[in-house]
Chains A and B, each alone.
Chain A
Amino acid sequence: GQNIDQPTEMTATEGAIVQINCTYQTSGFNGLFWYQQHAGEAPTFLSYNVLDGLEEKGRFSSFLSRSKGYSYLLLKELQMKDSASYLCAVRDRAAGNKLTFGGGTRVLVKP
């Protein structure tokens, strides 16, 4: 099975930077995904990492270290609209490429 851990909640100030960590254990790692979910809405895809390193997409970046079973999502120049839950998900080829989600990290951006 898989074990995916991320902090439950984080608070940050508008304009600042927040880093959301995700650690995982899986037997057949085949990609890590980040999703954003605003309260009462559906998750939306943010980023995908399958090789080690940093992927940058505007204000959002995602990093992966496969040897450490670790990823982070970096949100820069925080805006109020970034208040949401951020979900880490891992795909496991040993489980037929099943995608398993972590519990999500709720980020609250304060003025």
Chain B
Amino acid sequence: EAQVTQNPRYLITVTGKKLTVTCSQNMNHEYMSWYRQDPGLGLRQIYYSMNVEVTDKGDVPEGYKVSRKEKRNFPLILESPSPNQTSLYFCASSLSPGELFFGEGSRLTVL
């Protein structure tokens, strides 16, 4: 089954404790992207990747890192999480930016 898998789905953590949200897709898509979704602000792009070893900043990259060492994986790293990073995070993939396939989302709370 074609899918984008994110883990964890839910996480409560504390300020400053490094965490990684993993994202994996099995559709051989070149394009992958991370979004955060907050009430009233819609979906905002954090980082995206056009292909392996190619990543670029989206609209709200501060406080986040990503890597794309393999085509299927695109982890999102929060080196020192802060409460303003409490949000719902979505990973998405596609052949090219447009018809995106989204993961189920990861709800993160930073205390």
Interface residues of A, Cβ cutoff 8 Å to B: 31, 33, 35, 41-45, 48, 87, 89, 91, 96-104
Contact = CB atoms under 8 A, between A and B. Distances in A.
A48 B105 CA distance: 23
Contacts, number: 52
B42 A99 contact: no
B45 A48 contact: no
A98 B58 CA distance: 8
Contact of A104 (B42, B98, B100): B42
B104 A91 contact: no
Contacts of B1: none
A87 B103 CA distance: 16
A48 B98 contact: yes
Question: Which of under 10, 10 to 19, 20 to 34, or 35 or more describes the interface residues of B?
Answer: 20 to 34
B98 A103 contact: no
Given A33-B98, A42-B104, A43-B90, A98 B43 contact: no
B56 A100 contact: no
Interface string B27-66: 0000001010000111111001010000010110000000
Contacts of B90: 42-43
A33 B27 CA distance: 20
Contact of A43 (B41, B43, B44, B97): B43
Contacts of A41: 104-105
B26 interface: no
A23 B108 CA distance: 32
B42 A42 contact: no
B102 interface: yes
Contacts of B99: 33, 45, 48
Contacts of B101: 45
B96 A97 contact: yes
B103 A98 contact: no
